[in-house]
Structure 1
Amino acid sequence: MPVLTVFYIKLLINLGLTFAIVWTVSRTALFAKWQIENEKMIFLLGFVLLRLIPWIGIFLVLNEDPRGDIPFFFYKAEAAKKGGFVYRDFWSYHAPLYAYIISLPVWIWHNSRAIVLFMVLMESGILWLTYKTYKFRTERALQLAIIYYLLPAGFMYILVDGQEEVWFWGAALLMWRFTIRKPENYEVGIGLLYALALLTIKVTFIFLLPALLLVAKKPVKMLLVMAAVGLPAIGFLYWQIGDLFLMPIQHTEQLMTPNLFSISRPFIEMIIPINEKKSTLINWFGLLFTVFIPAYMAYKARYRHINEVLPGIFIACFVCMMIFQASAMGAYVIAYLMAVLFEIVDLRKTAHVAVLLLLNWLTVVQPFIWVYIKQPAYTSLAMFANAAYLFEYVLQILNVLCFFWVLRETYRKTVRPENLVTA
């Protein structure tokens, strides 16, 4: 199917999902009733209608091939299934265990479509666990779960493209639930979970660590537990493959969009020419803000228990990554979208719902247009004489403004909850 045709179909699906979200938002009382009486049935119905049936339609009925990163994931899963050693026998920009985990569905069905279904099942498992965590906090939890299933970003990037970034929230959610169940002496548990997450997903999960240590009661204890797991793993990898295990770090050198650097670059280039082949310094500069801002929030909220602030500092960490890292791209919103919906968005406020919808539409539309117009780097204002470039640049600006909105609301919820007005 031609790329443009696929894009137009995505727009029509987005429109249908948006209307469904508006309807769902207007039915709070109905979903509150279902949350008490039929939570499992409604959640399962949402999964079947909004994930399973579309997956069957796209990949079995229409026989479409998976897009996005799935071909690369399948390459890694095949190599892992054959007994290959990660980084030495096959390329991977993920943590060492990731390729072996995504090879599990390939053992059952040797097809890249199996990985997409696996990602959908993982997403739904994380969503169910999120719902179970929030159902005791709000009568809107089931309503939020169904709204998440309807969000265009999750629908497109997980159901169609099989992205895995939602696993970040899954790891943070497990740590958060552990601190809720064990409000004292939780450092060993979350230290183990954090170390396992670093071995399972991506190295970028380390961005959360400084902020987490600031709100932990015994940070040294947590670090020692992580070291007890991580150092032997690193030692084993170095013994087997030398410094090849540093391969995931190389993936952070490519300049992407949308982020603060990509929209400010035309003005930066007026002063300092940017060499894209030597862009490491730009990412290191962005890393400072990615780590410092969530750490500052954690410091300001240190008087609160870790189980009160962990979702907030998680969101702040990964939205800061998208704002300040020049290698960040739109698909990374999947990392914290579920957390933002449950933790930050207030369905009673029209502005919150509007920004949520805008962010989702931009996340689907902007990356496609940027790739379709040959991934331009805006190095001068003169480039905006091209209407297509100007349009895509405006979409990037709107995207970054949405990220800043999320960061602001997260700061208010995490650091100054007493200022929030509740109905």
Structure 2
Amino acid sequence: MLFFEDTVSVVKVVVSLLLALASWLLIRFPAPFRHHLNPRPALTLWVSFIVFRVIPFLIVYLILDFAPRSDTEFFYKKAIAAFAGKMVYRDFLSYHGPLFGYLISLPLYLWYNAKILIPFMALIEFAIVWATWRYYQASRPDSLLMAVLYFLLPMPFVAMILSSEEDVWFWGVGLITLLYTSRAQSSLWIGVIWGLSMIVIKSMIIVLLVPVFFLVDNKFKYVLGLALVGVPSIVILYLLMGDAFLMPLQHSGYHMTPNIVSITRPFLSSLYNQMSLTRLNTISLFITMGLSSWVAIRYRHLGYRQIFPSLYILTFGIFMLAQPSAPGFYLFMYMIVVLFEFVRIEDKSFNFQLILLNFLIVIQPIIWVIYVGMLNYDDWQTVFAAPVNTADYVIQVIEVGLLLSLVWHTFNHLKSLDRATSPSFPPQSWSTGRSSVS
């Protein structure tokens, strides 16, 4: 069979399938779980973290002694360079913000090994899950169930345990901005906070910062906040290393899957091949920012706090669909928000789609990278050249369909929020929007 050619792939698929089934059982039959989860929420979160993050780490990396793979290995290379005092971009490769390598080098003081990055990233993820639960606790009675479901889902599990991904950090930053919406000079601070995220995490957050500009009330203060962080950072980086600080812009140099470009290649390859990948990525950035900005303008009267979570999901959902260089694991950026904003026990169809998307996002890269060889399907002959190619293409089409459904669901959610706040509709009890940004 296909996956038995790679033991790690077999284990990853089996574990992901078991987690997907467990996730479905949790959301399909929540009553017995609620009985045990609700009395001690803090303990429930800690147990979930230990069972689905700490114990798997101990088994995989300490008992079985597997070496870290994927992004963890790449992160470790930049971490040891930063640990040695080398200069980012000038002395070592990095597609992240200038401070990211130095931040992830801190755990090396405890253990000089790539494996330490997994618990380090997992602890930050846990803090974000905890903060998200606290934020939604008052407005969603089943917020604890959503937190446990997040730890159960296969995509966040694999993204953290096998790759130590950092993309969920963006939502952590978003949570911080939500806490500033009721404070004086909130637009300024929102700009400062998002500006810091660009130098600490990575610059791709620009796709969100443009629509946020149309969302905040005081746009001058928002831009000023971004400039207070961005301008000194650019000046310092240029003085230290010249134009080498532009290295993160090279990150979009590879075709990834799944996205609209990857599934339409068999009948649009002549068009795509006339344009460089850089040009395709640039077009997709404008599409993402343009559509998200239109949504921000259309619903800005709802206020930053109410619209931001949906705008966050919508922006990165469109980004994944439009960007030829966006990998499926970018779903990690906003999956936690989808759970707390959209998942309802009674909506069985949406819940099934979400769990299926999680599972497919895990298994499709295995097929495409290991067994297809990262081929682009430039014609139908390539798609049907081998059963594995066909299976991969079909899975990509399903994934894109599910992502489109999620984006449409998000847009409809915004429309329902708009209707709920109109004079003829009472506010929904689970809405988190309370104020606009000044």
Give 1:300's aligned residue: 298
Contact 1:188/1:222, CA 8 A, preserved across alignment: yes
Secondary structure (helix, strand or coil) at the match of 2:120 reads helix
3-state secondary structure, aligned to 1:301: helix
Question: Offset of 1:46 from its aligned partner?
Answer: 0.5
Q: Is the 8 A contact 1:187 1:221 kept in 2?
A: yes
1:357 alignment partner in structure 2: 355
- The gaps in structure 1 that reach 5 residues or longer are none
In structure 2, relative to structure 1, the CA distance for the partners of 1:328 and 1:289 (3 Å cut) is: same
For residue 382 of structure 1, what is the aligned residue in structure 2? Answer: 381
1:1-400 alignment, distance < 5 Å: 4-29=6-31, 32=34, 37-179=39-181, 181-182=182-183, 185-269=185-269, 271-272=270-271, 274=273, 278-372=276-370, 373-386=372-385, 387-400=387-400
- Preserved contact between residue 86 and residue 92 of structure 1 (Cα < 8 Å): yes
Deviations 1:296-316 (A, max 9, x none): 111110111110001111111
Deviation at 1:29, TM superposition (A): 4.2
Moved over 6 A (4+): 420-423
Would the aligned equivalents of 1:166 and 1:336 in 2 still touch at CA under 8 Å? yes
Q: Give the letter for the 1:157 counterpart.
A: A
Which residue type is aligned with residue 305 of structure 1? G
Distance 1:189 1:418, change over 3 A: closer
User: Is the contact made by 2:288 and 2:315 (CA closer than 8 Å) also made in structure 1?
Assistant: yes
Distance in 2 (alpha carbons) for counterparts of 1:338 and 1:19: 18
- Aligned-partner residue type, residue 385 of structure 1: F
Letter in 1 for 2:56: P
State, as a whole percentage, how many aligned pairs show the same letter: 33
**RMSD, aligned α-carbons:** 1.9
Q: TM-score, normalised by structure 1?
A: 0.95
* Structure 1 residue 28 displacement after superposition: 3.5
Letter in 2 for 1:10: K
> Structure 1, residues 386-416: CA drift from partner, whole Å, max 9, x if none?
2221110111111111111111111112243
**Which digits, 9 at most, give the CA deviation of each residue in 1:281-324, with x for residues without a partner?**
11111111111111111111011111000111111111111000
Question: Which whole-Å deviations, capped at 9, do the CAs of 1:88-119 have from their partners, x for residues lacking one?
Answer: 11110000000001001111110000011111
The 1:222–1:97 alpha-carbon spacing in structure 2 relative to 1, beyond 3 Å, is: same
In the alignment, the residues of structure 1 paired with residue 392 and residue 153 of structure 2 have an alpha-carbon distance, to the nearest angstrom, of 22
* Contact 1:262–1:377 (8 Å) recurs in 2: yes
Residues 342-397 of structure 1 show CA distances to partners (whole Å, capped at 9, x for unaligned) of 11222321111111111101110111100021111011112122222111011111
C-alpha separation between the residues in 1 aligned to 2:32 and 2:129? 20
Question: 1:35: how far off?
Answer: 6.2
Distance in 2 (alpha carbons) for counterparts of 1:316 and 1:34: 34
User: What amino acid does structure 1 have at the position aligned with 2:121?
Assistant: M
CA contact (8 A) 1:297 1:415 kept: no
Change (3 A) 1:240 1:395: same
Please say which of residues 232-241 and 3-12 is displaced more in the overlay: 3-12
**Aligned counterparts of 2:132 and 2:354: Cα–Cα separation in 1:** 18
Letter paired with 2:241: I
Q: CA deviation at 1:418?
A: 5.1
Report if aligned partners of 2:265, 2:272 keep a CA contact under 8 Å in 1.
no
Whether the aligned pair in 2 keeps the contact of 1:80 and 1:86 (CA below 8 Å) is: yes
State the distance in 1 between where 2:33 and 2:306 align: 26
Greater RCO structure (CA 8 Å; 6+ sep): 2
Alpha-carbon deviations, 1:145-167, whole Å to 9, x = none? 00000000011111121111111
**5+ long unaligned stretches in structure 2:** 421-427, 431-438
Q: CA deviation at 1:272?
A: 2.7
2:20–2:356 contact (8 Å) kept in structure 1:
no
Q: After superposition, what is the alpha-carbon deviation per residue over 1:238-278, rounded to whole angstroms, capped at 9, x for unaligned? A: 00101100000011122111111111111112x436168x3
8 A Cα contact 1:31 1:140, kept in partner:
no
Give 1:18 shift: 2.2
TM-score (norm 2): 0.92
